[in-house]
Structure 1
Amino acid sequence: MEHVEVAVIGGGQSGLAAAHTLRREGLQPVVLEASEQAAGSWPRYYDSLTLFSPAGYSSLPGMAFDGDPDRYPHRDEVVDYLRRYADRLDADIRTRTRVREIRSDGSAFALALEGGGRLSARAVVAASGTFGRPHRPALPGLEDFSGAVVHAAGYRVPEPFAGQGVVVVGAGNSAVQIAAELAAHARVTLATRHPVRFARQQTLGRDLHWWLNRTGIDTLPIGRFLRTPPTQLVIDDGRYRAAVAAGAPDRQPLFTGADGSKVTWADGSTEEVDTILLATGYRPDLGYLAPLGALDVRGHPLHREGVSTTHAGLAYVGLEWQRSLSSNSLRGVGRDAVRAARHLAVHLRRH
C-alpha cells in the first residue's frame, strides 16, 4: 500500500485551492480526481454558462484570473483557468482516480480506489463538490409522468428541446438562466414553490460582489447558524426579470400532480408537457465517507466550518454554506482552504 501525507479528494476548484494552501503549510498533498482532467465539474456545465461574479472576484489563491477584471467569464474560460492553475501547482495530481471508500486505519485513513488500488493517508481533505450527486426532489405525480425527466446536470444546449413543452423546476440562477434560454426554442414554464427573487447585478455602477466584499457580508461566518439555507437570489442585469415578466418563460407555482404526459397546475388546469427539467441543485458528493462514519443520516458531513467533528485528520473544502455564503464558489473556496490546511498542519505536527 502506498503511503501519502494528505489525500485531497477532488481536483476541481476546491481541491486545487486545498492543494495550494497545503503546500504553503509545508505539506505534501496528493490530489485524486475521478475525471480525466483537473477542472472539476466545469467542463460538464451547460454551454452558455457565464459566471455571476466578475473575473476580479473569481480567483483561487496564488493566481489571478487574467484579462479584464470587470468581465464575467464564460464556462470555457473557467475551465482554461483551472487547467493552468493545476499545471502551476507543485503537487501530485492524479486524474482518472476515483475514491470508492475511506475507512479508519488506526492513526491513518485507508482509501480504496476503483480498480482495486489502495492508499494510506495521514490526513484527508474531502473536496469532491456536489455535481456528482444531483438532487431529485419528490415532486407530486412525478413518478406518473410519462415524458422525459432530466436534471440540469444533463443539460447542455436548448436545440434538442425545440418545439417542446418544457417545465423547468427551480428558482435559482441556473433554473432561470436555462428557462430563459429554452424559451427562445420551446414553450417553457418555470415552476417554483415561491416567487423568484432577483438581486441587481450592479448598483451605483458597482457589481454586487464589490458591495459584498466592501461590507464584509461575503466573509461573515454564518454557515454554522443556518439550519436551512436561505432562498437563493437570482443575480440579474435586468434581462431575466424582464423575460419572466414577458412570459418567456412563464412562471407558475409548482404543479400539483402529473399523469401521463400532462401536469396539473395549482388552479386545476392541465397542460401537455414533453420534458420536466429539474434545476433543483445538488447535495454533497461524499458517499465514499460513509464507511468512516463521518456523515449524518442524510449523507451530509458532520463538521464545523469545514473541520470534521468525527475525525481530527479530516477536513472539507467547497461545501455550500460551509462557513460563508461564498464557501462553494471560486471566490470563496480559497479562504476555507486556508483554514482547512492550517488545521491539518497543526494536527499532523501533533501526531
Structure 2
Amino acid sequence: MSAQRTQVVIVGGGQSGLAAGYHLRRHGVDFVILDAEATPGGAWQHTWDSLRLFSPAAYSSLPGRLMPAQPGETYPDAGHVVDYLADYEKRYELPVQHGVHVKAVRRDGDRLQVETDAANWSARAVISTTGTWSRPFIPAVPGRGAFTGTQLHTVGYRSPADFAGQRIIVVGGGNSGAQIAADLALGGIDMTWVTQRPPRFLADDIDGRVLFDVATARRRALDKGHTDTGGVASLGDIVAVPPVRAARDAGRLQARPMFTRLTATGIQWADGSRAEADTVIWCTGFRPALAHLAPLQLRGPRGHIATDGTLALGEPRLHLLGYGDWTGPASATLIGVGRPARDAARTIAQLLRE
C-alpha cells in the first residue's frame, strides 16, 4: 500500500492532539491528526455522568480559545468539554480524520511510517497523543477470578442508577475513586470504599488552577537543580470537588483499608472479616496507550518511553504529549497541555527546517 505523505502525523485527536495541531498550524507545518474516535471530544465522551472539571471554564482552556462558561455551573461537566473540543477542532479547521485506528509507527529511512486501518502515512515527525483512557489498569488481587459478581473499571461506570439495590465495592484512593464513591453514596447505594492508604483530601480551596501552578513550579525547580518539593503529590491525592465535599462532610466517605483477596461473593480483609458485594468497581488508574509505538523499541521501565520534555530520547522524530508529568507538567490536563504542545511544535518546526 502506498503511503500518503505529510510533514507531521499527530496520533490522537483529543485535547493534546488538538493543542499540538494548533501550534503546528502557527508554524505553517503541514500535518494530519488521526483519531480513533468516531466523533470529536476524545475520552471525555466516555466519562461518568456526574464528572466535573476541577477548575472553572476559563482555567480549563486550550491555547488560543477560552472555554466558555457553562450556564449554571462553576465547574463544567464532561458534555460541556466535548462541545468545547468539537468547536475548537472546527474553529481552527484542524485536519482531523476520525475513526482511524493507528496500528504501528515504524522507521522508514529518514521518515516515519504510520500504519492505520484506513491508509498508511509517511511523515518527517510524529506526535503521539493517545493518552491513557484506552488502557485501564486492574491490579492482580488474589481471588479476582473467583468473584462471581460483576467487575468493572472506572471506564465502565456511568451513574448510581445502574446499581440500584446492589452492594458495591469501590477500590481506589485517587480522584476517580473518591468521585465515584461519592456519586454512589449520595445516590443512596450501599457502597464500601477501600483504599491502599488513608485518603488524603486537598484543602477545599484548592482546584485545578492551583494544581497547575504547583506542578509547573515543581518542574521549574527541578530543571534548575533545586530540591524536589513533591509538587501536587505533597498536597494530597483528592481534589474536594463539591460532590466529594458533600459526601465527605455527611460522613459518607469513610474509607476502609485495602482487602487482601476477593471471595466468590465479596471481599476479605487480612483479619478475616468480610463484606458481601454484587459489583466491584476498580478505580485503579491507567497505563499509557503506546502499543502503536512498539516497533520503535523505545519503552523502558513501567512502560514509559524516556523523554526530554516531549522529545523521545531514542527517536528524535517522535514526541509524546499528554501522558502525564513525564511529558510536561500537568500535560494530561486541558490547561496544562498548551505549553508542552507549543514546545513540541517549535522543536518539530526547527527539525523540518534543518
Output the TM-score relative to the length of structure 1.
Answer: 0.90
Q: 1:195 to 1:86 in 2, by over 3 A?
A: same
From 217, 220, 239, the equivalent of 2:214 is: 217
User: Paired residue for 2:189, among 181, 186, 190?
Assistant: 186
Match of 2:34 in 1: 32
Shift of the alpha carbon at 1:85?
Answer: 0.1
Who is 2:88 aligned against? 85
Which residue in the other structure is 2:347 paired with?
343
Is residue 21 from structure 1 mapped to residue 18 from structure 2 by the alignment? no
Q: Is 2:104 the counterpart of 1:101? A: yes
1:247 Cα deviation (Å)? 4.7
SS in 1 for 2:42: coil
How much does 1:54 deviate?
Answer: 1.3
Amino acid at match of 1:191: V
Q: Among residues 45, 54, 57, which one is paired with 1:55 in the alignment?
A: 57
Range with greater deviation from structure 2 (289-298 or 218-227)? 218-227
Q: Is the 8 A contact 1:128 1:285 kept in 2?
A: yes
Q: Is the 8 A contact 2:201 2:239 kept in 1?
A: yes
Aligned to 2:147: 145
Matched, 1:288 2:288: no
Matched with 2:79 is 76
Q: What amino acid does structure 2 have at the position aligned with 1:199?
A: L
CA offsets per residue over residues 248-299 of structure 1, 9 Å max, x none?
A: 2441101111221121124321111111101111111110000111222543
The answer to whether the 8 A contact 1:253-1:266 is kept is no
After superposition, the C-alpha distances for 1:277-322 in whole angstroms (9 at most, x for unaligned) are 0111111111000011122254322212111101111101101113
Which amino acid in structure 2 is aligned with residue 13 of structure 1? Q
Deviation of 1:93 (Å): 1.0
2: CA distance, partners of 1:248 / 1:106: 59
Structure 1 segments of 4+ aligned residues over 3 angstroms from their partners: 207-213, 222-227, 229-232, 244-247
Unaligned 5+ runs, structure 2: none
Is 1:322 aligned with 2:319? Answer: no
Partners of 1:53 and 1:343 in 2: CA distance: 30
| Cα 1:237/1:20, change in 2 over 3 Å | closer
Partners of 1:247 and 1:270 lie apart in 2 by 22
Give the aligned partner of residue 235 of structure 1: 239
Query: TM-score, length-normalised on structure 2?
Result: 0.90
Is 1:7 aligned to 2:4, yes or no? Answer: no
Q: 1:90 is matched by which residue type in structure 2? A: E
Letter matched to residue 40 of structure 2 = A
Alignment of 1:123-202 (within 5 A): 123-183=125-185, 184-202=187-205
Per the alignment, residue 307 of structure 1 pairs with 311
Distance 1:22 1:310, change over 3 A: same
Aligned to 1:275: 279
SS at match of 2:325: coil
Counterpart residue number, 1:43: 45
The SS at the match of 2:158 is coil
Q: Aligned equivalents of 1:155 and 1:209: distance in 2?
A: 23
Name the CA distance, whole Å, in 2 between partners of 1:151 and 1:86. 29
* Cα pair 1:108 1:122 within 8 Å, conserved: yes
Q: Percent identity?
A: 39
Separation (CA, whole Å) in 1 of partners of 2:16 and 2:69? 22
The offset of 1:27, in angstroms, is 0.7
Aligned residues: 343
The Cα shift of 1:246 comes to 4.7
The RMSD of aligned alpha carbons is 2.5
